[in-house]
Amino acid sequence: MVKNSKNKKVVVALSGGVDSSVTAALLKKEGFSVSGVFMRFWENPSEGGAKNLCCSEGAEEAARAVAKKLNIPFQAVDFKREFKEAVVDYFLSEEEKGRTPNPCVVCNKKIKFGLMFEKAMKMGADYVASGHYAVIKGGKILKAKDETKDQTYFLYNLNQEKLARIILPMGGYLKSKVYELAKKWKLPYRAGESFDLCFAPCGRETFVKKYLKMKPGDILESGTGKKLGQHQGLALYTIGQRKSLPLAQGPWWVIEKDQKRNILYVSRKEDDLLQTDLNASNVNWISGQAPDFPLEVLAKIRYKSEPSLATISQERGINVKFKKPQRAITPGQSLVFYTKEGELLGGGVIEAY
């Protein structure tokens, strides 16, 4: 991981889960001077607090227990206000605009490798570590050994300055091996996995209904303009959605959201979701420099999608053209770029084409 690690100070973001727990244990065994920090995020009191692994009260207790087991210093830092402003408010603002945001990307940029990173540096740390499944090597971000757990998608906003001081041990392990090590070392981690929208344990739809004013509008058939029914608020739907549509004689798929006219467009033809072109904004290049264009890459339009061959050009922004049509390209989601060898080059936010 790091040469001459003995007595180098590293602050580990302890979440209470198995990945960060094993990260701390591995670094201590490597000879680092390890400290654990737990981040307290915004909770929704009306729903009994966030029940997600990374946010709940039980998670803090587990993180504290792991630190005690490893005999390392531990503290909890309160980022509740900052998390709400940077992540939750951003999520709601984007939803209100008819977009589908990616709050995990923003959390990694502004909280975990933003505020947390700054906190660690003030503590005199040489490095910051977390349980992310990704590999940092020579100023590059590479896909994790366990590709089923790979989290490089969420890290495209990192820069060279931070990469030089971040350690991600999990990138070199299979998840099964991580559990094996946790059992071997008897780490008192909290079982379970974190999931999307940690601040909305009740689910996205319920959360959006609670915090945004829903305005009903027409549902029209794409292409014909035929009125099919009424939606209960555009924020409740996302491009490519098939389930929970208030329509008969389906299946129907959400094709487009017209925010200005408050219209939801749907189609019976799933192929209407296929597109080859998109524009991207707020693009970050890991190297710190934009490449020469045009550039051929493997690109992902969402976390769970497969990378697909695409060509990037620069013409009034970043334009991406896929070799094969992509299903449900969604404004607000993150688009990330890889080399064929699995190096993360960068990424940005999808805009309407």
Q: Determine contact, residues 52/194, Cβ cutoff 8 Å.
A: yes
Catalytic residue of the set 54, 55, 104, 107: 107
**Six-digit token string for 256:** 């487009």
pLDDT of amino acid 353: 67
Question: If you average pLDDT over residues 167-187, what whole number do you get?
Answer: 98
For 93-112, how does the pLDDT look when each residue is reduced to its tens digit (9 = 90+)? 999 999 999 999 999 999 99
pLDDT of amino acid 52: 46
pLDDT of amino acid 198: 85
Rounded Cα–Cα distance for residues 325 and 305 (Å)? 13
55 part of the active site: no
2 or 187, greater pLDDT? 187
pLDDT of amino acid 256: 96
Q: Does the pLDDT at position 196 exceed 90? A: no
Rounded Cα–Cα distance for residues 263 and 273 (Å)? 17
For 246-286, how does the pLDDT look when each residue is reduced to its tens digit (9 = 90+)? 999 889 999 999 999 999 999 999 999 999 999 999 999 99
107 part of the active site: yes
Q: Does the pLDDT at position 195 exceed 70? A: no
Q: Does the pLDDT at position 4 exceed 70? A: no
Catalytic residue of the set 54, 55, 104, 198: 198
Q: Does the pLDDT at position 200 exceed 90? A: no
Q: Does the pLDDT at position 55 exceed 80? A: no
pLDDT of amino acid 72: 98
**Six-digit token string for 148:** 């089923």
For 333-346, how does the pLDDT look when each residue is reduced to its tens digit (9 = 90+)? 999 999 999 999 99
The most confident of 51-65, 188-202, 290-304, by mean pLDDT: 290-304
Percentage of the chain exceeding pLDDT 70? 93
For 320-332, how does the pLDDT look when each residue is reduced to its tens digit (9 = 90+)? 999 999 999 999 9
Q: How open is the CA angle 94-100-102, to the nearest 5 degrees?
A: 85
* pTM of model > 0.85: yes
Q: Does the pLDDT at position 45 exceed 60? A: no
Question: If you average pLDDT over residues 135-157, what whole number do you get?
Answer: 97
Q: What phi and psi values does residue 279 have, to the nearest 5 degrees?
A: -110, 150
Read off the pLDDT band of 51 (50, 70, 90).
Answer: very low
Question: If you average pLDDT over residues 132-142, what whole number do you get?
Answer: 97
Q: Does the pLDDT at position 22 exceed 50? A: yes
Q: Does the pLDDT at position 50 exceed 50? A: no
All domains of the chain in start order, with CATH: 9-184 (3.40.50.620), 213-268 (2.30.30.280), 274-351 (2.40.30.10)
Mean pLDDT rounded to a whole number for the chain: 93
Closest CA to 63 of 18, 32, 94, 97: 18
Question: If you average pLDDT over residues 13-39, what whole number do you get?
Answer: 97
pLDDT of amino acid 56: 60
